[in-house]
Amino acid sequence: MRRQQRQRLAFLLVSGVAWAVTIPIMLVIGLIATRGLEGMSWAFLTEMPREGMVEGGILPALVGTVWLTIGTAIVAMPLAIGAAVYLAEYARPGPLTSAIRLAIVNLAGIPSIVYGLFGLGLFVLYLQLGTSIVAGALTLGLMTLPVVISTAEEAIRAVPQEFRLTSLSLGASRWQTIRHQVLPHALPGILTGVILGLSRAAGETAPILFTAAAYYLPSLPSSPADPTMALPYHLYVIATQVPNMPLAPQFATALTLMLIVLSLTVAASVVRSSYRRRREW
Amino acid sequence: MVGPEQLHSAALLGRIDVRGVSFWYPDGTRALSAVDLVLAARRINVVFGPARAGKSSLLRLLNRLQDLVPGARHTGDVLLNGVGIFGPEVDVSDLRRRVSMVFAVPTPLPGSIRANLTYGLRMAGHRDTAFLEDRVEWSLQQAALWDEVKDRLDSSAYALSGGQRQRLCLARSLALGPEVILLDNPTSGLDPLSTALVENALQVLKDQVTIVMVPHSTQQAARLADRAAFFLDGELVEAGAGAEIFLGPTDKRTEDYVTGRFG
Amino acid sequence: MDASRAALSRTTRPTRSGNRMEPWIERAVRLAGLSAIFIVALIFIFLIRLSLPALTRIPLSAFGDLRWYPIEERFGLVSLVVGSLLVTAVAVGIAVPLGLVTAIYLGEIAPPWLGDILKPLIEILAGIPSIVLGFVGWVALAPLVQRLGAPTGLTAFTGGLILAYMALPTIISIAEDAIDAVPKSYRDGSLALGATRWQTIYRVVLPAARSGIVTAVMLGIGRAVGETMAVMMVTGNAAHVPRGTSMLFQPVRTMTATIAAEMGEVARGGTHYHVLFLIGALLFLITFAINSVAARLVGRRRTGEGGG
C-alpha cells in the first residue's frame, strides 16, 4: 500500500499548489474591491481632477477610455470580420493560408509596447495624425485584430455546413449564403470576440503611451484628433508620478478600470449563453 | 393557381443527357466511370443500386454541387435541354434553380416556414410580395403540406415534424419553378405515412417537372419508376423503362440485385 | 390563367444588383484576410526603418557596453537584455510548474464543483489589466518583498512574480487542453494494469501531453518578455547588470520598460530615439521567433492526432 500513500501525498501537494495559485487571485480582487470602494463615489467618476490630480475625480480618463474603446471597435471590427470570413469561407489550404495564420499568431504575440512604437512611427509621425484618439484607436485596433479574428472564425465555422449547402443548392450565390445564412447565425459568437478584444484594449497602457495618452488635460477631448487621458495610463501616473498622492483614489481608479474590463468580459459570456438558449436548431 | 408548368409548356423541357461522365473525388477515388444516360423529361427517373454505386455523386453533379468539393474533377458532359451545364456562360445559381436538389436529411433553414419557401426566389432577386405569396401557396399544395401549415406560415420551420420538414424541403425546391428536381433518398428518415405523402406528391408532380430520384429501397424504386438506371461501383449497368428493369432485366447483375440475391 | 401568368412574370422580373457587387465584396474579404500579413510586414518595416540610423551612427560593439547611459551617449544593451532575461526566467520558473500542477489539479483531481469555482477565478485573472496587477505589485507586493530583507521591494523577483501571475491563465489553459487531449484509452490502459491514478498521471498523461506543455512554456515566455507596464512599476528600473547570489533581489530594467519610460522624453530623430526603436525591433524578432516555433508545435500536435 506504499503506492497508495505516495498517491495521497502527491494529491495533497498538488492541491496545495493549486490553492497557492488561486488564493492570491482572491486576495488581489478582494484588496482592490475593498480599498477601491473607500474612494469610490459618484463625484469621483463625474468630476474633473483638481489640485494636480490629488483631488477631484477621473472623468476625463473615463471618457477617454470610452472614446478609445469605441474607436478600437470601429477600426478592428470590419477588418477582423472580413479576415475571419476569408479564412473560414474562402481560404483553401496552402502556403498563402498558412502564411496568414502564422501572421495572425505573430500579431497576437507582438508585445504591446512594440505596437506603441509602431503606432508612433506610422500613425503619429508618418501619417501626421499626431498624439490623438485616432492614432491610439488605430494602434489598439491592430493589436485587437488577432483575438477578434480567431473568435469570429470559430463562430463562423460553428454554423452547420448543411445550411451553406442548402442555401447554395437553392441558387444562392456564395456571398448571399454568407450574408443571409452564415453571418446572422455567427453574429453572437463574433460579438463575443469583439467584446473580448475590446475588454483587452480598454485595459492596455503601452500602446497608447506615445500615440494618444496625455498626462493631464484640463478639459475633455473635443474631437478624435485630440489627445486624451485614459484610465490605465492615469492609474500609472497617479501611482508612480504624482507626489503625495493619497492611496484611496488610486485604488478607486484601479477598481473602476477592473470593473469596466470585467463587465465587458461578463457581457461577452452573456451574449454567448443567451444566444445558445434561443437558437432553433 | 400558377405553377412552373406554363413556363416550359412550349417544348418538353427538363431533359438531361449525361454523356461519358467520369468523376473523381479529391483523394483520387473514382465515383463514376464513363456514364452515358438519358434522364427523360416529365418522368420519374430512378437511379438505384447498392451503397457506393455513385448515385449521389451523379445527382450532385447534375446541378454542379460537386463544384463545392475542392479538388474533385470530372470528364464528359451533362446537357440540360441540349445545352452543356459546365459551359463558361452558364450561371451556376441559375442552373441550381432550374435543377433543384432535395437532400436525404431535411434541412430547414433557421427562420419561418414562409422565409424558407421564398428564400431561393428572394436570392434570385424577386421582391414582388404577391408573386412570392402565390408561389408559397402553390408549392405547399404541390408538396401536400398546405393544409397542415397554412395557418402558421410565420412560425419556425423547426417546429415541423420530420415528415413535414421533408415536404417543406420539396416545396422549397418547387417554389423555384425548376425544370428538374433531384431527390437524394428523400424518404430515408420518414415514417410510412409521410413516405406515402411524398410519393403521391411526386406522382402528381411528374407531369410538370422531371424527377430524378435515388430511392430508399428497391420496392420504392419499382413503385415509382417510369425510367430506371441501375448503378454498380460507379458504372451504369443497365437503364430503361421501369417495367423492363424490374420485371425483365437483361443484365445478370441487375437481376441479382432486384430479386434480392445481391448485397 | 396563361394571361395572368404572363402578367406576373413581367412584374416580377428579378432585380439582380447583388451579382455585380459580388466580385468586389469577395475581393474586399480576401484583402482583409491578407491584411494580417501586410500588417506584420508593415510593423517590421517601420521598426527596421526607424532603428537603422542607430546602427549606422553607433558601432555594433558599443551595444556590448555594460552601461546604459543615454545622456553620455552610452547605449549598452547588456543590462537591459539581462534584465529582461532575468525577469522572464523568474516568471517562467514560477508560472510553468505552478500552472502545470494547477492544470493537473483541475483536470484530474479536483471535484467538478471546485473546478467550477476555480476556473472562472483564473479567467478573471486573465482579464485583469496588467496595469492593475502592476499597481497591486507596487502598493502591496513590493513592501512584502522588502520585508524579506532586500534593500528595496522593487526587484527582478517582484517583477517576475507579477509576470508569473499574468502568464498563469495562458499556461493553465493550454496545459489543460493538452491534458484533455490525451486519449482516454491511454489512461484506462494504465489503470487497468494496476497503476494508481497518480502513477497514471505522472507516467502516462504528462508524457503524452508533452508537446502541449512545451507550447505553454513558449507562449508564457513570449508573454513575459513583452510585458511592459507592470514590469516597469515593480522592477525598480535600475539599468545595471545584477550580480552575485542576491541578483534576483536587485532592481533591474527590462527592454520594454526602457522604451516605455524613455520614449516620451527623448528628442525625435536623435540617436537615443533610434536606439529605442532598435530595442523594439529586437523585441519583435524575439517574440516572432518564439511564436513561430510555438505555432509549429501546435500544428504538429494537431496533425499528429490523426495518426494516433
Residues C93-109 pLDDT 10s: 999 889 989 998 988 88
C14 and B6: CB-CB below 8 Å? no
Question: What integer is the mean pLDDT of C187-194?
Answer: 86
* Model pTM score: 0.87
Among A86, A233, A247, whose Cβ lies nearest the Cβ of C30?
A86
C129 and A17: CB-CB below 8 Å? no
Instruction: Provide the percentage of residues in chain C whose pLDDT is more than 70.
Output: 90
**Ranges assigned E (strand) in B103-256:** 180-184, 210-214, 227-232, 235-241
Provide the shortest C-alpha distance from residue B126 to chain C (in Å).
5
Among C1, C11, C18, whose Cβ lies nearest the Cβ of B128?
C11
**Coil/strand/helix, residue B177:** coil
Whether residue C228 has pLDDT greater than 90: yes
Residue of A nearest to C138 (CA): A239
pLDDT at position C1 is: 37
| Banded model confidence at residue C12, pLDDT cuts 50, 70, 90 | very low
Q: C71 CB contacts (<8 Å, ≥6 apart)?
A: none
Whether residue B230 has pLDDT greater than 70: yes
pLDDT at position A281 is: 66
Provide the shortest C-alpha distance from residue C143 to chain B (in Å).
59
So what CATH class is B4-13+42-54+92-228+237-258? alpha beta
Name residues 86-125 of chain A within 8 A of B (Cβ). Answer: 92
| Banded model confidence at residue C265, pLDDT cuts 50, 70, 90 | confident
Provide the shortest C-alpha distance from residue A103 to chain C (in Å).
5
Neighbours of chain B (3+ CB pairs under 8 A): A, C
Domain boundaries of chain B, sorted by first residue: 4-13+42-54+92-228+237-258
| Banded model confidence at residue C19, pLDDT cuts 50, 70, 90 | low
Whether residue B234 has pLDDT greater than 70: yes
**Coil/strand/helix, residue B239:** strand
| Banded model confidence at residue B12, pLDDT cuts 50, 70, 90 | low
Distance of alpha carbon B65 from alpha carbon B58, whole angstroms: 10
DSSP tally for chain C: helices H, then strands E: 14, 2
Span of B168-182, C131-145, C189-203, C257-271 with lowest mean pLDDT: C189-203
Distance of alpha carbon C289 from alpha carbon A105, whole angstroms: 11
CA atoms within 13 A on the CB side of B101: 28
Q: A161 CB contacts (<8 Å, ≥6 apart)?
A: none
Give the residue numbers in B contacting A (CB under 8 Å), as ranges: 63, 65, 68, 70, 93-94, 96-97, 100-101, 103, 105, 107, 109-110, 119-120, 123-124, 156, 158, 172-173, 176
C263 and A209: CB-CB below 8 Å? yes
Whether residue A68 has pLDDT greater than 60: yes
Whether residue C7 has pLDDT greater than 50: no
Cell of C205: 498523461
C127 and A14: CB-CB below 8 Å? no
Question: What integer is the mean pLDDT of B24-49?
Answer: 94
* Residue among A218, A91, A98, A75 at smallest CA distance from A144: A75
**Ranges assigned E (strand) in B58-148:** 73-80, 83-84, 99-102
pLDDT at position A31 is: 95
Within 10 A of C184 (CB to CB), how many other CB atoms are there?
8
State whether residue B131 sits within 8 Å of chain C by CB. Answer: yes
User: What DSSP string runs through A145-209?
Assistant: HHHHHHHHHHHHHTS-HHHHHHHHHTT--HHHHIIIIIHHHHHHHHHHHHHHHHHHHHH--GGGT
Provide the shortest C-alpha distance from residue B2 to chain C (in Å).
7
Whether residue C6 has pLDDT greater than 60: no
Distance of alpha carbon A86 from alpha carbon A73, whole angstroms: 19
Q: What H or E segment, with its residue span, contains residue B169?
A: helix B162-174
Cell of B253: 447483375
Span of A83-92, B32-41, C59-68, C278-287 with lowest mean pLDDT: C59-68
Span of A52-61, A95-104, C41-50 with lowest mean pLDDT: A52-61
Residues A241-270 pLDDT 10s: 888 889 999 999 999 999 999 999 888 888
ipTM score for this prediction: 0.91
Provide the shortest C-alpha distance from residue B86 to chain C (in Å).
19
Residues A1-45 pLDDT 10s: 678 888 888 888 888 888 888 899 999 999 999 999 998 999 999
**Coil/strand/helix, residue C7:** helix
| Banded model confidence at residue B1, pLDDT cuts 50, 70, 90 | very low
| Homologous superfamily of the C60-307 domain (CATH) | MetI-like (1.10.3720.10)
* Residue among B222, B229, B182 at smallest CA distance from B205: B182
3-class secondary structure for C184-208?
HHHHHHHHHCCCCHHHHHHHHHHHH
Question: What integer is the mean pLDDT of A144-173?
Answer: 94
| Banded model confidence at residue A272, pLDDT cuts 50, 70, 90 | confident
Residues A169-188 pLDDT 10s: 999 999 999 999 999 999 98
A171 and B176: CB-CB below 8 Å? yes
Residues A101-145 pLDDT 10s: 999 999 999 999 999 999 999 999 999 999 999 999 999 999 999
| Banded model confidence at residue C16, pLDDT cuts 50, 70, 90 | low
Distance of alpha carbon A74 from alpha carbon A221, whole angstroms: 18
Query: C-alpha distances in angstroms, C184 versus C100, C180, C181, C188?
Result: 19, 9, 9, 6
Residues A224-247 pLDDT 10s: 999 999 999 999 999 998 888 899
Whether residue B71 has pLDDT greater than 60: yes
Question: C215, C178 in Cβ contact below 8 A?
Answer: yes
Provide the shortest C-alpha distance from residue C303 to chain B (in Å).
18
User: Cβ contacts (< 8 Å) between A80 and chain C: which residues?
Assistant: 32
Q: Which residues pair with B156 in a beta bridge?
A: B112
Instruction: Provide the percentage of residues in chain B whose pLDDT is more than 90.
Output: 75
Distance of alpha carbon B62 from alpha carbon B85, whole angstroms: 8
Whether residue C302 has pLDDT greater than 60: no
B-C C-beta contacts closer than 8 Å: 27
pLDDT at position C292 is: 87
Query: In chain A, what are the domains?
Result: 58-278 (1.10.3720.10)
Span of A83-87, B10-14, B118-122 with lowest mean pLDDT: B10-14
pLDDT at position B261 is: 65
